[in-house]
Amino acid sequence: MKSSELNKMLIEYLPELYSKYLDEVSWQEGDDTGSHIVYGDVLTPHLIECILQKETKEIIKIYAFLESVLSLEDEYSDEVIAFSVLESIVYFIKEDMSSIDLLGPRSRKWFEDLVL
Return averaged pLDDT per consecutive 10 residues of the chain, 116 residues in all: 93 96 88 91 96 93 96 95 92 79 88 74
How many other CB atoms are there within 10 angstroms of residue 115's CB atom? Answer: 12
69 C-beta neighbours (distance < 10 Å), count: 24
| Prediction pTM value | 0.89
Q: What is residue 95's predicted lDDT score, i.e. its pLDDT?
A: 77
> Which sequence spans correspond to the domains of the chain?
3-115
Instruction: Report the residue count for the chain.
Output: 116
In 15-55, which ranges are continuous DSSP H helix?
18-25, 35-38, 44-53
CA distances from 66 to 23, 47, 81 (A): 22, 11, 7
Cα 35 to Cα 10, 28, 72, 100, distances in angstroms: 10, 12, 15, 24
Q: By C-alpha distance, which of 81, 88, 50, 56 is closest to 66? A: 81
| pLDDT at site 61 | 97
Give me the pLDDT at residue 42, please. 97
pLDDT of 116 reads 55
Task: Please give the pLDDT value at position 101.
Answer: 84
Contact criterion met (CB below 8 Å) for 110 and 103: no
- Give pLDDT, residue 90: 87
